[in-house]
Structure 1
Amino acid sequence: MKDIREILTLSEDYLAKHKVESPKVNAEWIISDSLKLKRLDLYLQYDRPLNENELSDIRQKLQRCAQHEPVQYICGSTNFYGLEIFVGPGVLIPRPETEYLIDHALKLIDEGQQLLDICTGSGCIPIAIQEQKNQTLKITASDLEENALAYAKRNIEHNKSNNIDLIQCDLFSGISQGIQFDLITSNPPYVSHNEIAEMGQDVLKHEPKSALFAEEDGMAIINEIAASAPDYMNTEAYIIMEIGAQQGKKCLSLFESFNYRNIELLQDYSSRDRIIRAQRPQ
């Protein structure tokens, strides 16, 4: 009977053979999910034998991963800012870079204020911010895709988030202009079609293209948001948005053209332009 140590080694080798990125991490993720263990516990129970039902579940998940299906879809969830966020086909998988947006957004809004999240997807941004603000914010989150909003609703319920209203609409089209928000956040589609050759098969084959790609070299939706956002912002409000690593200069010029104040580019953990932060035009 095979134990955890042997299955870890065999699984990593299998995924590496099929050119899956980070085969060790993905193998650990799949095995820990099948065994209902934390990844660290795999190494604390190295010599635990596995029964046939456990092995069968691991094999099925490994086969899906070898076909470059994202391990987050296979296991059904991912960790984002310390929260479990459910994901699956039709919703973008939250990335570590977006946690950096949360870090900065938290500095721009106080308890009891109003937040608008555009292109909310899984709802990970408003859920994480609401958690850190003790469930005191009044939040509106919008997305065009019905499937994404279904995951957002599930994640709101799972994480016991309060006061997050979901609206299905294209950007601001369903948001009442009578509401003036204290902060607008967004992780919009910003990938250029020219970047397809550099992207992994797990992303291209499985994640929703509508949440990834934008026209005008990835800038089209960023342009729309920058143009429309001031109508929904209090006088001192900020907007904070995730952008592509090559879009920093274009975004600076764009926000300057709309007379935003206190515009700043923020770098991610790899020192690449990743966030633009700006205050409403006067």
Structure 2
Amino acid sequence: MTTKTLQNLFHKTLSKIYSKSEIDTFLYWVVEEVLKLKRIDVYLNPDVEINSKELKTIQNYLHRLQQQEPIQYILGSTEFYGMRFQVNPEVLIPRPETEELVEWIVTELKNQSKKQILDIGTGSGCIAIALKKELPECEISALDISKTALQIASENAKQNQLTINFEAQDIFKLNSLPKEVEIIVSNPPYVRVLEKKQMHENVLKFEPHQALFVKNDDALVFYKKIIELALASSRCKTVYFEINQYLSDDLKKMIQSYNISNAEFRKDFRGNERMLKLLID
């Protein structure tokens, strides 16, 4: 089989499930991973022969794509903020919106003095690790309830040659932060169960529900707890969140209930309110 034939096979097999652009992306990622060829090589050298071992691997990937398994889990890694991260179904796949949250924090802290930052619900470690890379003088700590996720995050930090202080914690069992920090950042679970019907099958079937979903009648539970931990701290003055665009009005009301007067919402590249910064008096 040649790369040109493979391209035709991908589109024939996946066209009822994915868009043409998505299929092309899957093909290029797989070709790069298995054949070590770049996208341009597929165009310039359409007659490159694929050996039997390579073909067997690719056919396995193609079958998993038919089951709507995310390509990032199939390949075992993804890119975030220009860095490579290992991912598997124990951790969420990092999203572009989260990169925007990191960019906001980096821009604001780039020329400031050393800060102590805590990432709550770190998952793959993408936020904490990206911040450490961009803000090397800062001391970064990260919490997660999942020990398996923390193992992946630790490996990602090691792979990117960065030092993060990871710790297993259930924040709902805490009355205060495990260590005093100046800044908290969190991308907590915020998808209401009722929103499942709007989500793609590849998310529902494969990504960890514990890291995604909250009860319909208590959707802001993580935000409330994190804000309360920040308010109980003597040093924490800033909190950054990724948020559910459908809950921004509810968040605004909740913030008022805590008498926090300085709140800034930001829109993502799609024009949705997806980020929040609080200044704690």
- Once residues 130 and 44 of structure 2 are traced to their aligned partners in structure 1, the CA distance between those partners, rounded to angstroms, is 31
Could you list the per-position Cα deviations for residues 91-135 of structure 1 after superposition, in whole angstroms to 9, with x for gaps in the alignment? 1110111001001111343352100000000000010011111x2
AA partner of residue 260 (structure 2): Y
Is the contact made by 2:177 and 2:229 (CA closer than 8 Å) also made in structure 1?
Answer: no
Matches within 5 A, 1:255-266: 255-266=255-266
**TM-score, normalisation: structure 1:** 0.91
Alignment correspondent of 1:160: 161
User: Aligned match of 1:119 in 93, 118, 121?
Assistant: 121
Alignment correspondent of 2:56: 56
Alignment correspondent of 1:16: 15
Aligned in 2, Cα 1:142/1:40: closer, same or farther, shift over 3 Å?
farther
- Once residues 230 and 12 of structure 1 are traced to their aligned partners in structure 2, the CA distance between those partners, rounded to angstroms, is 53
AA partner of residue 33 (structure 2): D
**Matched residues, number:** 276
Is the contact made by 2:263 and 2:276 (CA closer than 8 Å) also made in structure 1?
Answer: yes
AA partner of residue 66 (structure 1): Q
AA partner of residue 199 (structure 2): M
Aligned in 2, Cα 1:73/1:256: closer, same or farther, shift over 3 Å?
same
**TM-score, normalisation: structure 2:** 0.91
Give the 3-state SS of the residue equivalent to 1:10 in structure 2.
Answer: helix
Alignment correspondent of 1:226: 227
Alignment correspondent of 1:199: 199
How much identity, in percent, do the aligned residues show? 34
Q: CA deviation at 1:179?
A: 3.7
Matches within 5 A, 1:227-246: 227-232=228-233, 234=235, 237-246=237-246
Is the contact made by 2:70 and 2:206 (CA closer than 8 Å) also made in structure 1?
Answer: yes
- Once residues 104 and 172 of structure 2 are traced to their aligned partners in structure 1, the CA distance between those partners, rounded to angstroms, is 23
Q: CA deviation at 1:173?
A: 4.5
State the Cα RMSD in Å: 2.0
What runs of 5+ residues in structure 1 fail to find an aligned partner? none
Aligned in 2, Cα 1:177/1:204: closer, same or farther, shift over 3 Å?
closer
Alignment correspondent of 1:3: 2
Is the contact made by 2:72 and 2:87 (CA closer than 8 Å) also made in structure 1?
Answer: yes
Is the contact made by 2:187 and 2:243 (CA closer than 8 Å) also made in structure 1?
Answer: yes
Aligned in 2, Cα 1:229/1:56: closer, same or farther, shift over 3 Å?
same
Could you list the per-position Cα deviations for residues 185-239 of structure 1 after superposition, in whole angstroms to 9, with x for gaps in the alignment? 000000000011111111111111000001235322222222222223626x211
Q: CA deviation at 1:40?
A: 4.4
Q: Judging by fraction of residues, say which structure has more helix.
A: 2
- Once residues 172 and 112 of structure 1 are traced to their aligned partners in structure 2, the CA distance between those partners, rounded to angstroms, is 29
Aligned in 2, Cα 1:233/1:101: closer, same or farther, shift over 3 Å?
farther
- Once residues 39 and 152 of structure 2 are traced to their aligned partners in structure 1, the CA distance between those partners, rounded to angstroms, is 25
Give the 3-state SS of the residue equivalent to 2:162 in structure 1.
Answer: coil
- Once residues 39 and 171 of structure 1 are traced to their aligned partners in structure 2, the CA distance between those partners, rounded to angstroms, is 44
